[in-house]
């Protein structure tokens, strides 16, 4: 009986947060597209114009890398704060705390879908042609969503006990951005180091998205299997923690 209401609550709160965010600025929804676009232009300017870095297809490699990285990093950062931000709420009513990171993760997923549509338009504009390999994209989306949900719920579960995690996560994400090959293709990583490079699940995901979207090839299913296991394990840990401390979070006053 409560389950159905929790579903309604997650979807309505997601809708409400998106609407409220859009209402805060003059051009509202346009920012969802403009914000990542400006971000791409900044990195393009730095790497292509100033550093004169990269190969001929650098723009498309960068665009794909940034879009999927942004989805990941936004989801983690927003989920991280989801419990402390709603401390007042959970001190007055009972809610399964899992719902709080789920709401931000769903919000970021919807925003990502908008940005992804823009990405596809841009890629078609610069001459990328769709192929049958693209039918594997839903699988890749599902995998990254699993990874993002696992990671987001895990940092959300730990942060109330250890608020310093927010600062550590910021630096961790910056490091991970450079380790995930957002700005370069995996081909620049020397062969003996690739195994280590692909220990990072986001490196696997970004590489897979580039293979499918830009090179019309199918992804490495074995590597994706690793991402699945990785995501499933952290999600299981996160769910266990959130359930275990469900009635402890409202009492944490230091957040």
Partner 1 sequence: MNANLMCSSPIRSLHNVGVCYQRRSGLFRQSPFWALNDVSFDLFRGEVLGIIGRNGAGKTTLLQLLADIIKPDRGVLQTNGAQATLLSLQIGFIPNLSGRENAIMSGLLLGLRRSTIQSRMKDIIAFSELEEFIDQPIRQYSTGMRARLGFSVALQLNPDIFLIDEVMGVGDANFKKKSSEAMLEKFHSDRTFVLVSHDLSMIRRLCSRVVWIEHGATRDEGNPEAVIRAYQACLIPPSNPLPRIPKETTGKP
Give the footprint of partner 1 on this chain (CB under 8 A). 4-5, 8-9, 12-13, 16-17, 19-20, 23-24, 89-95, 247-248, 250-251, 253-254
Give the separation between CA 105 and CA 72, rounded to whole angstroms.
10
What lies within 8 Å, CB to CB, of 79 at 6+ separation is 101, 104, 105, 151, 152, 153, 155, 156
Closer CB to partner 1, residue 25 or residue 174?
25
Least distance in angstroms from the C-beta of 89 to partner 1? 6
Give the separation between CA 73 and CA 93, rounded to whole angstroms.
30
Closer CB to partner 1, residue 15 or residue 45?
15
Closer CB to partner 1, residue 10 or residue 133?
10
Least distance in angstroms from the C-beta of 13 to partner 1? 7
Closer CB to partner 1, residue 17 or residue 35?
17
Longest Cα pair distance anywhere in the chain, in angstroms?
A: 59
Least distance in angstroms from the C-beta of 49 to partner 1? 38
Closer CB to partner 1, residue 100 or residue 155?
100
Q: How many CB atoms lie within 10 A of CB 249?
A: 22
Least distance in angstroms from the C-beta of 94 to partner 1? 5
User: Of 147, 142, 143, 131, which Cα lies nearest the Cα of 212?
Assistant: 131
Compute φ and ψ for 176, nearest 5 degrees: -65, -30
Would you say 94 and 173 are in contact if contact means Cβ atoms under 8 Å apart? no
Least distance in angstroms from the C-beta of 218 to partner 1? 42
The DSSP code for 133 is G
């Amino acid at each position: 009986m409560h389950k159905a209401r929790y579903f309604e609550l997650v979807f309505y709160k997601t809708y409400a947060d998106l609407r409220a965010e859009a209402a805060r600025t003059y051009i509202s929804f346009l920012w969802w597209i403009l914000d990542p676009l400006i971000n791409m232009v900044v990195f393009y300017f730095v790497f292509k114009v100033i550093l004169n870095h990269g190969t001929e297809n650098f723009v498309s490699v960068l665009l794909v890398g940034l879009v999927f990285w942004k989805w990941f990093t936004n989801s983690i950062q927003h989920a991280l704060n989801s419990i402390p931000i709603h401390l007042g709420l959970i001190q007055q009513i009972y809610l399964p705390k899992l719902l709080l990171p789920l709401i931000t993760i769903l919000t970021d997923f919807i925003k990502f879908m908008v940005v992804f549509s823009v990405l596809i338009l841009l890629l078609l504009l610069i001459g990328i042609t769709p192929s049958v390999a693209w039918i594997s994209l839903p699988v890749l989306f599902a995998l990254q969503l699993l990874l993002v949900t696992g990671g987001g719920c895990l940092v959300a579960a730990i942060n109330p006990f250890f608020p310093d995690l927010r600062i550590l996560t910021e630096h961790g994400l910056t490091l991970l951005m450079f380790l995930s090959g957002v700005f370069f293709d995996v081909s620049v990583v020397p062969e003996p180091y690739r195994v280590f490079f692909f220990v990072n699940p986001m490196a696997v995901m970004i590489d897979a998205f580039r293979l499918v979207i830009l090179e019309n090839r199918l992804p490495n299913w074995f590597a994706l299997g690793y991402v699945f296991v990785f995501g499933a394990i952290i999600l299981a840990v996160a769910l266990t923690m959130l359930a275990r401390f469900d009635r402890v979070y409202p009492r944490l006053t230091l957040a």
